[in-house]
Amino acid sequence: MRTQVARILWLAALGVALSACDAGDEGEAPEEAVEEQVEETPTHDAQGRPYCGDGVEGACVDEWGAHLCGIDTGWPGDELALCERDEGDGFIMHYGPKDYDDPEEIAKYTLEAGGEDENCVYIQTPNTEDIYVDQFHGRMRPGSHHLIVTIVDDAGPDLVLNEPIPCNQADAVGLRWLLGSQDPKIDVAAGGGGSKLAAAVEGDPDFGAATMIPANAILRIDMHYLNSSDREILRESWISVNEVPKEDVEVQIDMITWYQGAISVPPQSTGVETGIARCRVPSDRYLGLVTGHFHENGTRFTVWHEPQGGDQVKIYETFDWEDPGNAAYADRYENPQMGDPASDWGAESGYIHVKAGDVVSFQCEFDNPTDTTVNLGDTGSDQMCNVFGFYYPSDGDVWNCACVGALCL
C-alpha cells in the first residue's frame, strides 16, 4: 500500500562581469591600458530579488539549475516563479491563477489572514511518450505547508483539470509519489545538476539516474497552506522537470515514503518520543536523499541505519520542524555535521548503501504546550512523523513503510 507524503529544498542567483585591456608590442612604449566598458547583466532588483529580465526571454538559471522568470504581480513570492521549458527540455506544472488580471481567478487561490486550507489541482502532462527526468525544481509562495505531486493511475471521466478542488492527503493512498516538499524551495537532482549539485560521473552508483513520467500522465498537485500573517496571501506553486534522453538513463530512482502512525502527545508535556519505527530493507539499494517531516512543536527527528549484525548508526537528525533540511547522500556532497551548534540539522555524508535485511529506523520527539492531546493528523495543530526522499535502483515502485510504533509493514 502506498502512503503519505514527501517534501524536501533550496535557491540562489548568478551574474557575469567581463573586462579586457590592451598593451603595446614588446620593445615599444606600451599604450595606455584601456578597459573595455561592458554593461553588466543585472542579477538582482532593487528589493534584492533575482532579476531575470522582462518575461521569459530574460530568464536566468540559478545555481541549482532552476529556470527563473521575472514576474511582477505585487504578491509576495514573485521572485520564485519558474519559466516554461523549451520542448524536449522538460515542462512546468503550475498550481495557481491562469490570469493575474482576472479577479475571479485570483479569488480561487487566495487565503485569508489566519486561514488554513488544502486543495488540489489535476493537470495532464504534455509529453506524448514516456519520458525520463533527472531534476525537479519546486517553488511555493509564502505560507505553504506542503506540496505533493502524485501520478494518478485511473483519473475517471469526471475529473476536472486545471481547477482547485477539495482534497486531502488520504486521497493519495494508492497513488505513485513523484515529488514533494515542505520547504518553499525544493531542488532534487537524481544524479546532480547545477553548480550546487555537482553531477555524478561515470562509475558513480547514481550516474545516469532518472525517474520515468508516463505519456500524458494525470498529475495531482496537492497544496496545503497555513496563513499565519495578518493579510491575505496568494497560494501558488511552480514545479519544473528536466528531461533527459532515454538512452542516457543508467539507473531509475523512486520515492521513499515512510510514516509513523502511533502519535499521542499528552497535554502540557515535553520531550515525548514516538516508538522507533524500523523499516526493513527489501533489496540492496542506495539512499539518495532523506528528509524528516513533522509539525509545529516537533523538537527532534532522527534516522538511523542498522546493518545486519552491526551497530545502529545515526545518518540524519534535525531539530527544526519548519525547515528540517535535506540530506543528499553522495561522495561529492558535504552535509552539515550532526551536533554542530551552527546548524539545526545534520547528516552523514557520502553514499549510503543499504543491503537486504538491513533496517532503516526513525523516531520523533514532541512538545505539547496545549491543553488537549495531539495525535496524528494533517492540520498544523496535529502531528506527523514521516520520512521522505528517494532511493535507487528502483524496484519499480515507491519504497513504502507504514508503522504503528515499532511494528512496520
Question: Where residue 289 sits, what CATH number does that domain have?
Answer: 2.60.120.230
Report pTM.
Answer: 0.77
Supply the pLDDT for residue 213.
94
Among 205, 233, 251, the domain boundary falls at 251
Q: What is the mean pLDDT of the chain?
A: 83
For residues 161 and 213, membership in a common domain is answered with yes
120/242 same-domain check: yes
pLDDT of residue 91: 94
Whether 243 and 370 map to the same domain: the answer is no
**Mean pLDDT of all residues in 353-359:** 97
228 within domain boundaries:
yes
Q: How confident is the model at residue 385 (pLDDT cuts 50, 70, 90)?
A: very high
Domain count, the chain: 2
Q: 69 and 188 in one domain? A: yes
Q: Give the pLDDT band of residue 22 (cuts 50, 70, 90).
A: very low
Q: Does 139 map to a domain?
A: yes
Would you say residue 362 has pLDDT above 90? yes
Same domain, residue pair 141 and 280: no
End-of-domain residue from the set 227, 251, 275? 251
Dihedral (Cα; 175, 238, 299, 363), 10-degree rounding: 30
What pLDDT is stored for residue 193 in this prediction?
Answer: 60
- Provide the pLDDT for residue 146: 84
Q: Are residues 75 and 130 in the same domain?
A: yes
Rounded average pLDDT over 76-80: 89
Position 52 scores a pLDDT of: 55
Q: How far is residue 62's CA from residue 47's CA, in Å, rounded to a whole number?
A: 17
Same domain assignment for residues 194 and 264: no
3-state secondary structure of 238: strand
Does any domain span residue 31? no
Torsion angle (degrees, nearest 10) of CA 361, 390, 148, 75:
110
Asked whether residue 241 is domain-assigned, the answer is: yes
- Specify whether 227 is located in the same domain as 311: no
Cα–Cα distance measured from residue 392 to residue 251, given in angstroms and rounded to the nearest whole number? 7
pLDDT greater at residue 212 or residue 46: 212
Residues 263 and 194 in one domain: no
Give the residue-averaged pLDDT of 32-39: 40
Kindly tell me if the per-residue pLDDT of 10 is higher than 80.
no
- Residue 2 in 3-state DSSP? coil
What's the average model confidence in pLDDT over 186-191?
81
Q: Are 98 and 233 in the same domain?
A: yes
Q: What are phi and psi of 31, to 5 degrees?
A: -75, 160
State which of 251, 285, 314 marks the end of a domain: 251
From 25-29, 211-215, 275-279, the region with the lowest mean pLDDT: 25-29
CATH code of 190's domain: 2.60.120.310
Pairing assessment for the beta strands 399-404 and 254-260 based on DSSP bridges: parallel
- Domain assignment present for 47: no
Domain span at residue 345 reads: 254-408
What sign for the dihedral angle of Cα 88, 14, 147, 188?
Answer: positive
Other CB atoms closer than 10 Å to residue 277's CB: what's the count?
28
C-alpha grid cell, residue 92 = 512546468
Task: Please check whether residues 105 and 217 belong to one and the same domain.
Answer: yes
pLDDT value at position 170?
Answer: 65
* Domain shared by 261 and 362, yes or no: yes
Which tens digits make up the pLDDT trace of 221-259? 999 999 999 999 999 999 999 999 999 999 999 989 898
The tens digit of pLDDT for each residue in 102-137 reads 999 999 999 999 999 999 999 999 999 999 999 899
| Percent residues over pLDDT 90 in the chain | 60
Exposure string of 108-138, with b = 16+ CB inside 10 Å and e = fewer, is ebbbeeebbebbbbbbebebeeebbbbbbbb
